[in-house]
Every structure is written in structure tokens, then in C-alpha cells.
Chains A and B, each alone.
Chain A
Amino acid sequence: MSEPIRIKPPLSDQDVERLKIGDRVLINGIIYTGRDAAHRRLFDLLKEGKNLPFDLKGQIIYYVGPTPAKPGQVFGSAGPTTSYRMDAYSPSLIERGLKGMIGKGMRSDAVKEAMKKYRAVYFAATGGAGALLAKRVKKAEIVAYEDLGPEAIRRLEVQDLPVIVVNDVRGNDLYIEGEKKYRKE
């Protein structure tokens, strides 16, 4: 297996174009968290033509609702949540410059099309590895929607957050290819 690739947002078209399915990637720097309720609010703001609480250009959103941090801990357990629930909202965000999403589980055709058209990628983090992933978060602060508790949007500074490329800009899908490769008829 090849060495992991290190990336640091904001990402350009060229940054994401060189990523292909199955690549192991270590993310460094700033990413944002957001899941069900936060996506709903971002989507509504876009519909009304209003500004978002952070600039999407070149950024990565991590679908996560962490546990509360213990005293002395930077961030609580923080594995990915299932992504299909964000499918209705993602194409609009991608169209406005979002370059990466981290979650788990397959995306809809509409999201995959948007990733191809506007050059974005989808990463899987290991679902259920919440304790391990939390240790890669070096700083966390709430950016918006504090009332949503675990669903608030947070800006995270991460160091070597391990993810795997599942959908690349060429329309490939590791969930489909991986299953095909190991299926026994």
C-alpha cells in the first residue's frame, strides 16, 4: 500500500484532482464540522441568498457530532456520521466552493455529479473510531449554531486526520469498486 498523501485546506481544483479512490490521506490544518440540522440551516441561508457563517471556498466539512469534551480534553470522541442524510444539501454547498466532505456511507448520484462538475472529493473516516480520531484534533471552537449542541458548526484544527478517498473528481466510487473486487458469486 502506498504512503498516505498529506493535504491542507483551502484546497484548489488541482489539489483535489490528484486524489483518486483508495488513496489514504492525512488532513492537516482547518476543517469545519456540520451534520443534519446545521446543513439544513446552511441550505436555507443559501436559498434566501444570505451569507454563510463561514467561507466555503476550498474547505472541507466533517459530518460529525462529537461527545462533550472531558475536562482537559480538546475534543470529545469524534467519528463520522452516515452521510446520505446530507445528500439533499451537499450539491448546493459544492457548487459554492466546498472541496471536501468527510463522512461514511455512499452518496447519491446528485452529489457524485456535483463532485465531478465542480471538482470536489468525498472522504471516509473510520466509523466508530471516535476515540482515535479525537486525538487528531488540536483545537476546536464553535463558529455557529451553538444551540444545536453536538450539531453546532465548529472550526477544528487537525493534525494528520486519517481518511480514505471514496469518490474522486472522475466519478469513481470506492464503495462500488471495493465491493465488486471482493464479491464472490
Chain B
Amino acid sequence: MREISVQLVTEKVRDLCMKANTDLGEDVLQAIDRAIEKEESPLGLEILKELKENARIAREENVPICQDTGFAVVFVELGQDVHLVGGNLNEAIYEGVRQGYRDGYLRKSICHPFTRANTGDNTPAIIHAETVPGDKVKITVAPKGGGSENMSRVTMLTPSDGIEGIKRFVVQRVKESGSNPCPPTIVGVGIGGTLEQAGFLAKKSLLRVLGTKNPDPVLDQLESEILTEINRLGIGPQGLGGRTTSLAVHILMMPCHIASLPLAVNIQCHAQRHKEITI
């Protein structure tokens, strides 16, 4: 049994919150470069270049890419041979978020649903923990902005809706979202499981490196078909018209109940922020 102190978890979560919010991944920058080559709208091109310039400033000056530094969504893969010591894991993660959002001058965006009173420290965080074989802990911090999250949906299709029904729903969701989620977006799709599991899969699919293929050839094909349809919509960068409405569609799928076809669409703005570490 390997012992890991939860204080170390706090420290790592703090650093990941700050890093994720200031340092846009190379995969996103490369995806924007590929979009620049294809974009036909002059205003759209201008905006894509602005996004690259923004990412450069954020990285060099160590300031947030976007003012919406998000809900801190934390994925934990906990090796079953690890013994966490020195406190409670959830509380250690919250403390890391608290410190990261304070020390990184990140915006605190979490509030009471009714009174709208701000919790003041960006906690609670959303924690998705799963146990895996081994003696390591992998932590991923993925700050999620409100504008694109608001455009996301879960639906329970009927089995007869099939693949065509899935495609229709995803494309329609992107169409109706228009300019609101800060296109170009990344569209996370979760298929199967239960209501909450479909949502989780959609969110988790967003962690995949942009530009990489889905390991399942059927899903890979479906991703590319949906992306083609989305980019025919004409919404374009920031919704002002153009070819680049989405940079990618990512799908995760698992079996579902014989009565159901759960489907979740989690829309992610172009500031697709996530950083990970393995302890």
C-alpha cells in the first residue's frame, strides 16, 4: 500500500487550477491553426487570430485566458493500492481549489441557486472520482465556463431514434446555441448509460486531445459526420458567420438499458482548459 498525503493533493490541485486557466493547450492552438486555413469569412479569420493572440498574452503574462474561470471540475483516478493519509480527499481538493482561485487571481463564480450569494472561494468543486488498478493518483482539473455549459442538454431518446436521432439532436443543439457558447466550440457527446452517466461521459469526452481519433471506428466516423454537418450551419467564429462553428466532436459511449437511448451534449467553448498530473 503506497501512502499519499492529501496535502500533496491540495498543492497539486492549486497549481492545476492556475495552470489550466492561463495556459491553453497546444492541441487547441493547433486546432485553431487548422481552422484558420479553412475559414472563408474575413471577420471569422480576424476572430480566430484574436483567439491565438489572446492565448499568447495569457500564457506570457500568466493571466486568465477568459474571465470566466469556471466551475472547477476535478477528475480523480485513484489507484486502489493507494492509501490517502492526513485528511479527507474531497476537503483536500476543495482546499486546492480555494488556494488556486485565490492565489491565481481567478474569478469566483459559484453562488447559491436562489439568493445568488457568492460562496466566495469558488467551492464546492465538482469531483468525479473513480478507482483504477495501480498505486498512483491521476488528477485532472478542467475549469468549465457557464456560457457554454448553459447551452448543454441531456435527453432520453427512444431506441428507435437510433444514430440518425442522435445526429439530429446534436446538430440541432449546436444550431440553437448559435453564438452563445463562444464558437468555435468543442462538442462533447455522451451516449448510453443512465441520465447522469450520459452527462458524465459527455463531459469526460472533452478531455481527449484535440486532433486525435476516437479509438472506436464507428464513433470516429460518427464524430466526423456530425462535425461536417455542424460546420455547414454557417454559425462561424463567435456566431458572426463562417465555416468554423466547431473544432471537434468527441463521443464516449457505453451500453444502455433495453428501454432507453440516453444522450448528453456538453458544449465547450474554444477555451478548452484542462491540466492533469499523476502522483
Interface positions of A (Cβ within 8 A of B):
1, 22, 24, 36-37, 64-70, 73, 76-79, 81-82, 84, 104-106, 124, 126-132, 134-135, 149-150, 162, 164, 166, 174-175, 177-185
Instruction: Determine which of A76, A81, A178 lies in contact with B240 in the assembled complex, contact meaning CB atoms within 8 Å.
Output: A178
Judge whether A128 and B240 touch: CB under 8 Å.
no
Instruction: Report the minimum CB–CB distance from A158 to chain B (whole Å).
Output: 15
Judge whether B105 and A128 touch: CB under 8 Å.
no
Interface positions of B (Cβ within 8 A of A):
40-43, 46-47, 50-51, 53-55, 57-58, 61, 63-69, 105-109, 116, 118, 147, 150, 178-180, 182, 232-236, 238-243, 269-271
Instruction: Determine which of B46, B118, B270 lies in contact with A1 in the assembled complex, contact meaning CB atoms within 8 Å.
Output: B46
Judge whether B54 and A183 touch: CB under 8 Å.
no
The CA-CA distance from A24 to B66 in the complex, in Å, is 21
The CA-CA distance from A184 to B228 in the complex, in Å, is 11
B107, B109, B271 — most chain A CB neighbours (10 Å): B107
B67, B105, B116, B232 — most chain A CB neighbours (10 Å): B67
Question: Which A residues are in CB contact (< 8 Å) with B182?
Answer: 104, 127-128
Judge whether A182 and B65 touch: CB under 8 Å.
no
Question: Which A residues are in CB contact (< 8 Å) with B69?
Answer: 67, 77
Question: Which B residues are in CB contact (< 8 Å) with A104?
Answer: 147, 179-180, 182, 238-239
Question: Which A residues are in CB contact (< 8 Å) with B67?
Answer: 64-67, 76-79, 81, 130, 150
Instruction: Determine which of B65, B238, B240, B243 lies in contact with A130 in the assembled complex, contact meaning CB atoms within 8 Å.
Output: B65
Known contacts A64-B67, A106-B180, A131-B55, then 6 further A-B pairs from the complex at CB < 8 Å, ordered by chain A residue: A67-B105, A68-B105, A105-B180, A164-B43, A182-B40, A182-B235
Instruction: Determine which of A84, A124, A180, A182 lies in contact with B41 in the assembled complex, contact meaning CB atoms within 8 Å.
Output: A182
Question: Which B residues are in CB contact (< 8 Å) with A128?
Answer: 51, 54, 65-66, 182, 269-271
Judge whether A179 and B53 touch: CB under 8 Å.
no
Known: A73-B63, A104-B182. A129 touches B105 (CB 8 A): no
Judge whether A129 and B51 touch: CB under 8 Å.
yes
Judge whether A129 and B241 touch: CB under 8 Å.
no
Question: Which A residues are in CB contact (< 8 Å) with B238?
Answer: 104, 124, 126-127
Judge whether A132 and B53 touch: CB under 8 Å.
yes
The CA-CA distance from A181 to B54 in the complex, in Å, is 27
Instruction: Report the minimum CB–CB distance from B274 to chain A (whole Å).
Output: 15
Question: Which B residues are in CB contact (< 8 Å) with A36?
Answer: 116
The residue in chain A whose Cβ has the minimal distance to the Cβ of B184 is: A128
